[in-house]
Amino acid sequence: MNDRPRMISLSEWDDRYKELSDAGLKEPAYGGPLSRHVDDGDLRLRALRFDNSAAALRLWNFLLTEEDRLSAARASGKKLVGTMKDLGTVPVIAYSSPELVAFYPDGAWWIPCVMELGAGLLGIADSLGIDESFCPVRAMLGAFATEAHFPIPDLLICSVGATCDDFSAIAQRLASLGHSIAWWEAPARRKPDPGEESITLPGGFRAAVDQVDFMKSELQRLRRIIEKEAGSKIDDSALCAGIKAANGVRRILAELRLTVFRAAAAPLPALEMLIAEMLAIHFCSDRTESALVLQGLLDEACARQAAGVGVLPVDAVRVFWVNPVADLRVMNLLEKCGGRICGSEFLFSHALDEIPEDLPPMDALARMALADPMIGGAEDRADRVCADIELFGAEALLISRIPGASHCATEGQVIGDRVRSRLGIPVQEIEVPPVSDSLLPTLSTRIEALVETVLQRRKK
Amino acid sequence: MIYAGIDAGSRAIKVVLFDDENGQIVASGMADQGIAQEALAKELLEKLLHQRQLPTGSVAKIVATGYGRNIIGFAHKTVTEITCHAAGVHHAVPEARTIIEIGGQDSKAISLKVDGTVQDFSMNDRCAAGTGRFLEVVATRLTVDLYTLGELSGRSRNPAAISSMCVVFAETEIIGLLAAGVEPEDIASGVQAAIAARVGTMAGRKIEPPVAFTGGVALIPGMAGALEKVLKQPVSVPADPQMTGALGAALLAARI
Amino acid sequence: MKTVVYSCPFVPAEWIAAHGFGPKRIIPSIDHDRAPSGLTQGLCPYADAFTGEAVADSRLGAIIFTTVCDQMRRIPDTRTSRTETPLFVLNVPATWETASVHKLYRNEILRLGRFLCTLGGERPNNERLASIVLDYDRRRSELRSLRDRMTARQFSEKIAAFHRDGSLESDFDPPSGPTGAGARPTPIALAGGPMLRHHFDLFDIVEDAGGTIVLDATGTGERTIPPPVDRRLAREDPLAALADVYFGRIPDAFRRPNSELYIWLKKEFAQRGVEAVLYVRHTWCDTWQAEAMRMKEWCGLPFLTIESGGDSHVDGRTLSRIQSFMEVVR
């Protein structure tokens, strides 16, 4: 068996799966050949290139079987909490109750990509007046309408305010269709006024204590709502345990990111790293398993690093990536164009940083929630991006705009300007729709040109 | 030795033959783009070689660039047009620090370092409103060719305001303007101003002079002036501005 | 006295005035001569126009943005907003059903007050604030009373003038009756987000096409005139009274939930006998784009959406659409 790290196609994975199985591969219950997911309609897998490790196989199978887990959870009597938009904080509360499973219906935004528009979700959103001028997360409306991609949650919670107009409008449309939503307010995080009592949040942003207190009051209110759904109280010790468990996942992921982004030869590809990060926000509906999946990836990355091997050439240009892509294929494109991922900011850094364990749990969660990059200004994000670029040693910045997403209209300029002036590295923006096949030449040109620019700079 | 650069653009194929021993362009040519891009490129290359009485095998290396670069299978290497334009302009206008390139389908702003390598770049979004395509649409509506459109704009006394972000809607606006009796001269200069504004937006505020303007649109009278107004600084158009991409490709071929 | 400029109806003019500044709520216009913002696709033309107009005036005391929408919340971060004029972003909560968000809004108003004090303003005592609140309330009542004495356009322009500089002069000729034998203009509601200056021409366009706008439910129209204050509360706790009418009772699409908007519209549509709706929204405005189809389905009336995409005038395409719409409606 050839275990040399490489990226392979879906059809190559069938052969690889046989190899691994013959060699005694041990899989969880949701395991199996990747190609079986195509039969479920996940057609995009045919166009992707995957890491060839058993750890990557587990990651993909874990991601693509979430619907089964949610259905099983419901069948076993658990309540499903659909948390929307906050990307990281509310599930920590929900998972502190054994009666609940939390997930993000927002994740439906990838269904049009993964099913290559076959599920008709965007068409449903169009018919409801939510057209392509909105972020692809509008596919969520279609998912609720068809009930074909996740069980309808027992409780829907949505953060609004300084989150994102697209999502807020889409959620309001969902509510107008009869889905009851528990709204909660995310205040616009601002720099503390002179003389205002302030603290440093996890991740480094500073915020006024008043804002932390407000956030805490909102999360307390949500806690009561969640407890009511669970049918039992979630006491502080349960919350502390929940925070600890969440941090367990976050720590593994942090180590994975450091290992992969700083390695001389990239031990894991960009696409798997994107999926890995996504696990942090709601654990893909199984907190324990998500830790095991990430640990497997970390073990593989460490082993490859120790062996001095990588999945990409050593001289691949190190690119820091801002914003998640609506089309997974574009993560492959980065590597095809000669780049490798060397840092990322996918709009949920507050789901990656550790939640303080030396504070009362609600205080800790409030600080975490207030550290959400979405609710602050683009300058805050830019500062964090600069710091992480330096930490990971990236040579270029790629800002991926999400078509229709309201924050993308203005943030690219702010982040790009800050990175250029502070770090002097080249910056490029691209826009990635859910199925970008017709735009691949255009996207390739931009990414390739960015890579060429860096290569020229290296010669100096 | 002779090196070739092929710029397989979306509207035209351009080829430059460059002699690196004397640092001169040996030959250059352009042909309309078509479906059989590779064959068209090969045909143009061979035609230029024949014109200079050079044998087919006399080209040492070939670099392909442009939208269709990956289709040119006989090229030794492909390089994006950003890098090629930078190399080409640096050769033609060594002091240039910013390139504005407006082609048929896209536009670019490239900032150069002193040595001519790319510092940074930006490209237009999916909309064609900052490209030559917009001028073509308007020229068709005004039943003139592109060059005459440019000449018309020079006679404008009151440029029309074109507000649409989309070329399709802008065309509707122009129909409306014509119906309202607005002079074609004013429409032409309004369109040029709109394109320049879009390109200026794309280029951003920090434009380091001198600015070189390339691409086929640079040949159209009035466009350089429109750009100067928006950028608030002089803009120079190198000789053969459509060929800088192919020239740069040839120069890079010499460095393979 | 320096002027403080804003465009959002949730900014209390009284509070600014009470601190010794001149509040000016503007309706911007598109200026094609202004230098490009340098921002890429996706920027709302309204947000761009307001910011451009505000930063161009170097004599201002301050510019206030709010968090009512992402575009306005984020635009102060960008190059567009580079100016020496102090900027303030007022956090207006989207949710409204809990006491804590009302308190948040009140605290934001206080924070705005502190900001104004750093610019030379003076915090008013309760008596002064109460006096100003009641004065504005009285003048708004007077403003509302003008509706039946003016054409729809005149009234909407009067609302704009009042917000701009507090003027209430009624120098218009009273409206004449319907023209043409048997011509009963179709009552139309104008709805949607905030208008740009050239959108006032819509009133005339509708009238020329045989309609009459009987309700301006846009962000710049009647919908966002704060209702009458609780006068007793105004005397006891004027800040609470202010927060109540501004935050508590202006219906808008951005609220979560935004059910109050539909309650208000239902009442007003019924009272004014609205028979069709002209809906204005800006390109890239998610909040109002999302409501268009919902509102259309909800009201069951003929419904025309006009997209405003950075034009400085009502263009031929829009004119044709309105004319066609009116033909169908009539």
**Confidence class for position C81, pLDDT limits 50, 70, 90:** low
Express as a percent the part of chain C with pLDDT over 90: 73
Interchain CB distance below 8 Å, C69 and A165: yes
- Select from B122, B163, B202, B229 the residue whose CB has the most chain C CBs within 10 Å, as the one to mutate to test that interface: B163
Residue B206 sits at the chain C interface (C-beta within 8 Å)? no
Instruction: Report the candidate in C70, C52, C279 with the shortest Cα–Cα distance to residue C188.
Output: C279
Using a CB-CB cut-off of 8 Å, the residues of chain A touching C291 are: 169
Q: Which chain A residue's Cα is nearest to B116? A: A456
Looking at the complex, report in whole angstroms how far the Cα of residue A71 sits from the nearest Cα belonging to chain C: 29
Q: Which two tokens stand for residue A124?
A: 């449903």
Q: State whether A217 and C101 contact (CB < 8 Å).
A: no
Dist CA B80 CA B252 (whole Å) = 11
C114 contact B CB<8A = no
Q: Which residue of A has its CA nearest to B202?
A: A413
| Cis upstream peptide for A356 (omega within 30°) | no
Q: What domain range includes position A359?
A: 241-459
* Domain extent for B220: 98-237
Of C43, C254, C292, which is closest to A410 when you measure between CB atoms?
C43
Measure in Å the smallest separation between the Cα of C188 and chain A Cα atoms. Answer: 22
Cβ–Cβ of B161/C32 closer than 8 Å? Answer: yes
Q: Do C74 and A130 touch (CB under 8 A)?
A: no
Domain count of chain A?
1
The reply to whether residue C315 touches residue B230, judged by beta carbons under 8 angstroms, is no
Please check whether residue A283 lies inside any domain of the structure: yes
Chain B CB within 8 Å of residue C307 CB: no
Look at residue A80 in the predicted model and tell me its pLDDT.
Answer: 97
Assess if residue A316 is contained within a domain. yes
d(CA C8, CA C252): 11
* Residue A25 resides in a domain: no
**Does residue A31 sit within a domain?**
no
B197 at the C interface (CB within 8 A)? yes
Whole-angstrom distance, CA of residue A48 vs CA of residue A331? 9
Instruction: pLDDT band for C181, please (50, 70, 90 cuts).
Output: very low
The low-confidence residues of chain B, meaning pLDDT below 70, are 125-129, 163-167, 169, 205-206
In a shared domain, residues B201 and B214: yes
- B11 and B32 housed in the same domain: yes
Mutation pick from B124, B167, B205 vs chain C, by most beta carbons of C within 10 Å, is B205
- pLDDT for position C179: 47
User: A133 vs C289: CB contact, 8 Å cut-off?
Assistant: yes
Same domain, yes or no, for B141 and B218? yes
Instruction: Test B230 with C30 for CB contact under 8 angstroms.
Output: no
**Would you call C32 and B163 a contact, using CB atoms and an 8 Å cutoff?**
yes
Cβ-defined contact of C315 to B176 (cutoff 8 Å): yes
Contact A183 C94 (CB under 8 A): yes
Q: What angle do CA A424, A425, A426 make, to 5 degrees?
A: 125
Nearest chain A alpha carbon to B108: A446
Of the candidate ranges C13-22, C181-190, C205-214, the one whose mean pLDDT is the lowest: C181-190
CB contact under 8 A, B82 and A429: no
Q: How far is B120 from chain A (nearest CA, A)?
A: 5
Q: What is the pLDDT of residue B122?
A: 80
C312–B161: do the CB atoms touch at under 8 Å?
A: yes
Q: Residue C173: which pLDDT band, with cuts at 50, 70 and 90?
A: low
B166 touches chain A (CB under 8 A): no
Shared domain check, B105 and B3: no
B150-164 per-residue burial string, b: 16 or more CB within 10 A, e: under 16 = bbbbeebeebbbbbb
Examine residue A33 and state whether it is found in any structural domain, yes or no.
Answer: no
Tell whether B105 lies on the interface with C, counting CB pairs under 8 A.
no
Contact at CB, C290 and A187, closer than 8 angstroms: no
Chains near A with 3+ CB pairs less than 8 A apart are B, C
Domain membership flag for residue A59: no
**Which of A46, A51, A58 minimizes the C-alpha distance to A6?**
A51
Q: How close A215 comes to chain C (CA, Å)?
A: 10
Indicate which of C284, C311, C323 best probes the interface with B, i.e. most B CBs within 10 Å of its own CB: C311
Residue A58 lies in a domain: no
* Whether residues B228 and B161 fall in one domain: yes
H/E segment holding residue C236: helix C231-236
Please judge whether A453 and B123 are an interchain contact, meaning their C-beta atoms are less than 8 angstroms apart: no
Query: Could you tell me if residue A370 is inside a domain?
Result: yes
Indicate whether B80 and B183 sit together in one domain: no
> Does B164 contact chain C (CB < 8 Å)?
yes
- Chain B contact set for C38 (CB, 8 A): 201, 204-205
Question: C40 contacts in B (CB within 8 Å)?
Answer: 125, 201-202
Q: Which residues of C touch B198 (CB under 8 A)?
A: 36
B202 interfacial to chain C (CB closer than 8 Å): yes
Partner-chain contact B163 C36, CB within 8 Å: no
Residues of A in contact with C73 (CB under 8 A): 162, 188
Domain count, chain B: 2
Q: Do the chains contact at C95 and A184, CB–CB below 8 Å?
A: yes
Q: For residue C101, give how far its alpha carbon lies from the nearest alpha carbon of chain A (Å).
A: 8
Residue C286: its chain A contacts at CB < 8 A?
A: 133-134, 165-166, 168-169, 404, 406
For the entire predicted model, the pTM comes to 0.89
Residue C306 to residue C298: CA distance in whole angstroms? 18
Q: Answer yes or no: do C40 and B202 touch at CB < 8 A.
A: yes
CATH number assigned to the domain comprising residue A275? 3.40.50.11900
Cα gap A411→B207, rounded to integer Å:
20
Residue A428: its chain B contacts at CB < 8 A?
121-122
SS (H, E, C) chain A: CCCCCCEECHHHHHHHHHHHHHCCCCCCCCCCCCCHHHHCCCHHHHHCCEECCHHHHHHHHHHHCHHHHHHHHHHCCCEEEEEECCCCCHHHHHCCCCCEEEECHHHHHHHHHHCCCCCCHHHHHHHCCCCCCCCHHHHHHHHHHHCCCCCCCCEEEEEEECCCHHHHHHHHHHHHCCCCCEEEEECCCCCCCCCCCEEECCCCCEEEHHHHHHHHHHHHHHHHHHHHHHCCCCCHHHHHHHHHHHHHHHHHHHHHHHHHHHCCCCCCCHHHHHHHHHHHHHHHHCHHHHHHHHHHHHHHHHHHHHHCCCCCCCCCEEEEEECCCCCCHHHHHHHHCCEEEEEEECCCHHHCCCCCCCCCHHHHHHHHHHCCHHHCCHHHHHHHHHHHHHHHCCCEEEEEECCCCCCHHHHHHHHHHHHHHHHCCCEEEEECCCCCHHHHHHHHHHHHHHHHHHHHHHHC
Percentage of chain C lying above the pLDDT 70 cut: 92
User: Based on the domain organization, do B64 and B142 belong to the same domain?
Assistant: no
C317, B169: Cβ pair inside 8 Å? Answer: yes
B102 and B48 both lie in a single domain = no
Of residues B28 and C319, more confidently modeled:
B28
| Interchain CB distance below 8 Å, C309 and B165 | yes
Q: Which residues of C touch A170 (CB under 8 A)?
A: 290
B85 and B50 in one domain? yes
Chain C residues touching A377 at Cβ < 8 A: 74, 76-77
Q: Does residue B114 sit in the same domain as residue B227? A: yes
Q: With a cut of 50, list the residues of chain A below it in pLDDT.
A: none
Cβ distance C77 to A184 less than 8 Å, yes or no, reads: no
CATH number of the domain to which B255 belongs:
3.30.420.40
Query: Do B107 and B78 share a domain, yes or no?
Result: no
